[in-house]
Amino acid sequence: MNLHEYQGKEMLNSFGVEIQRGIVAQTPAEAVAAAKKLTEDTGTGWHVVKAQIHAGGRGKGGGVKLAKSLEEVEKISGDIIGMYLITPQTSAQGKLVSQVLVTEDVYYPGESEPSEFYMSVLMNRATGRNMIMYSTEGGMDIEAVADNTPHLIFNEEIDPALGLLPFQARKIAFNLGLSGKAFKEMTRFVSALYTAYVKSDSSLFEINPVLKTSDNRVIAVDAKVTIDENALFRHKDYEALRDLREENPVEVEAKAVGLSYVDLDGNVGCMVNGAGLAMATMDLIKQAGGEPANFLDVGGTADAERVEIAFNLILKDPNVKAILVNIFGGIVRCDRVAKGIIEAYKNIGNIEIPIIVRLEGTNADIAKKLIDESGLDVHSVIEFQEAADKVQEVLA
């Protein structure tokens, strides 16, 4: 589950991570009130207005702007709230901005130049350990840094039994070229960040930039936080941070009816019982020259009602050129599933794409017969290979 920047920062701060202060606002009037409050609390003269959407690269898309007066806060918030913000990480239509974060300006001049660093915390799946990835080249596109100057990106692996050790935090501060007060601040920042990562059961933190201010404080200016959904039961308070407006509406709908559905980019929809078979079916589709349009596990009860819901979900995707139903009848009998498919097909009415049904297991032959005699434009097969061939045929 992804958090908004303002939610991520609040969460980080609750674990002692220093952040750029901000207040979220839904309207320009609220933004002005937020700016006034920030001036009282922090003494800041300038403010930054930041679009809150679940996508990075907002600055490049015009979703992060500096305001040098309250009038500018009002004007900029008015422009940003309600806009469709397009960034390198959104679709071409962009994402509707419904709120902004008004923050203190932290790039003020002072005894030294501010510096922007990159820092993320994530799981290295190759070693099974958490790691902190960091770079002196923050603020900009980290993918470009990785491509052009990979030696400027450092990794620090953390032993899960020991946690982040003090020497590791010092090494990071050293590699970032810090000394004196900023060095100390960075070691504190890194330790608090790692504690937050572990305690919140997050799967990704990306802080870009981490800023060393001109008075040598170290703070998170941006925060991308992804919390492991499987651990949400341990954090009931985080559940309220979910913003359904930011999630794929079909996935939200599927979840509400208890189906596990993941939207993908391909052209062949699939409906399968069991996650393992669903994975194998996606491989099969690829082998047949298609690309899966979704992952969908209908679970143990593939009755008419569930099949119909599943068909309707898949049909919402305009890229779907064919649907492959792959059901293994173990406890659920294939003939019952076949009846469910026929009923659902008739109920929906206007299915204009080919459907390939592979039913194997208990009563598979009866099921095939039922489908073949239904008179519907449904191709039924029993063998896995036949299913692949059929997919290839209908895509050709």
Phi, psi for residue 155 in degrees, rounded to 5: -125, 140
Produce one character per residue of 232-252: b if its CB has 16 or more CB atoms within 10 Å, e if not: beebeebeebbbeebeeebbe
The partner in contact with residue 241, picked from ligand GDP, Mn ion, none with C-beta cut-offs of 5 to 8 angstroms by kind, is none
Q: Total number of residues binding Mn ion (CB under 5 A)?
A: 2
Residue from 57, 62, 299, 354 in contact with ligand GDP (CB under 6 A): 57
* Terminal C-alpha separation, the chain: 38
- How far is Cα 310 from Cα 288, in angstroms, rounded to an integer? 23
| Least distance to Mn ion, CB of residue 214, Å | 19
Query: Does residue 222 belong to the site contacting Mn ion (CB under 5 A)?
Result: yes
| Least distance to Mn ion, CB of residue 222, Å | 3
**Between residue 189 and residue 228, which ones bind ligand GDP under the rule CB under 6 A?**
208-209, 221-222
Query: Does residue 273 belong to the site contacting Mn ion (CB under 5 A)?
Result: no
Residue from 7, 208, 294, 380 in contact with Mn ion (CB under 5 A): 208
* Contacts (Cβ under 8 Å, ≥6 apart) of 231: 201
| Least distance to ligand GDP, CB of residue 138, Å | 8
- Catalytic residue IDs: 118, 206
How far from 393 is each of 45, 163, 322, 355, 379, CA to CA, in Å?
Answer: 66, 54, 11, 12, 11
20 or 208, CB closer to Mn ion?
A: 208
Say how many C-beta atoms besides its own lie within 10 A of residue 256's C-beta: 9
The piece of 54-62, 240-248, 270-278, 323-331 that touches ligand GDP (CB under 6 A) is 54-62
11 or 285, CB closer to ligand GDP?
A: 11
59 or 274, CB closer to ligand GDP?
A: 59
CB 348 within 8 A of CB 315: yes
- How far is Cα 307 from Cα 337, in angstroms, rounded to an integer? 8
| Least distance to ligand GDP, CB of residue 251, Å | 23
**Between residue 93 and residue 132, which ones bind ligand GDP under the rule CB under 6 A?**
103, 105-107
Consecutive H or E run containing 68? none
| Least distance to ligand GDP, CB of residue 20, Å | 6
Secondary structure of residue 91 in the 3-state scheme:
coil
User: Could you tell me the strand order of the sheet in which 378-381 lies?
Assistant: 260-263, 294-297, 268-272, 322-329, 355-361, 378-381
| Least distance to ligand GDP, CB of residue 106, Å | 4
The partner in contact with residue 64, picked from Mn ion, ligand GDP, none with C-beta cut-offs of 5 to 8 angstroms by kind, is ligand GDP
63 or 292, CB closer to ligand GDP?
A: 63
Say how many C-beta atoms besides its own lie within 10 A of residue 364's C-beta: 22
Secondary structure of residue 157 in the 3-state scheme:
strand
CB 259 within 8 A of CB 296: yes
| Least distance to ligand GDP, CB of residue 390, Å | 45
Consecutive H or E run containing 220? strand 218-220
Residue with smallest beta-carbon separation from ligand GDP: 59
The partner in contact with residue 106, picked from ligand GDP, Mn ion, none with C-beta cut-offs of 5 to 8 angstroms by kind, is ligand GDP
Consecutive H or E run containing 137? none
Nearest Cα neighbor of 380 from 346, 335, 319 is 335
Show the site string, 221-260: x = touches ligand GDP by CB under 6 A, - = not.
xx--------------------------------------
Secondary structure of residue 226 in the 3-state scheme:
strand
Extract the tokens encoding 22: 């901000």
The partner in contact with residue 139, picked from ligand GDP, Mn ion, none with C-beta cut-offs of 5 to 8 angstroms by kind, is ligand GDP
Residue from 62, 78, 139, 299 in contact with ligand GDP (CB under 6 A): 139
Q: Which residues bind ligand GDP (CB under 6 A)?
A: 20, 48, 50, 56-59, 64, 66, 103, 105-107, 139, 208-209, 221-222
Binding residues vs Mn ion (CB under 5 A): 208, 222
